Amino acid sequence: MSQVEFENVKLVAKANVYHGGRVISYAFYLPDGSRKTAGVIFPGEYEFGTGDREIMEVTAGALTALLPDKGEWETFAAGASFEVEAHSSFKCKSNDVSEYVCSYVKP
């Protein structure tokens, strides 16, 4: 997948570190005030909770996700995305190092 770029952003230089350093992301804000994170997921299986609705765009590698109210895991390769409703949780796993951009959608 080609490189994803954002212009005129405010980057928060403190890393968000989850699952013992196996998932790392950085938050940034677009000029309109919307928040995103860009991160890396190392091989493993993880569970995450959401506050806002999230749109996860896989930018490198692939993520396999078990989304709320879904009975089966689904794989999302680079270039694909999936949504997770607010105030829910989802599981994801990766067999290789994967990268993503997450958009947080306010009601």
Domains of the chain: 10-105 (2.60.120.10)
Residue 16 CA to residue 32 CA, distance in Å, equals 22
**Closest to 90 in 3D by CA, of 36, 40, 46:** 46
Helix (H, G, I), strand (E, B) or coil at 57: strand
pLDDT at residue number 2: 58
What is the phi/psi pair of residue 21, to 5°?
Answer: 85, 5
pLDDT at residue number 56: 97
| CA contacts within 13 A on the Cβ side of 41 | 28
Cα 47 from chain centre = 12
Q: What is the mean pLDDT of each run of 10 residues along the chain (107 residues)?
A: 82 96 97 96 97 97 95 96 97 97 93
Global pTM? 0.92
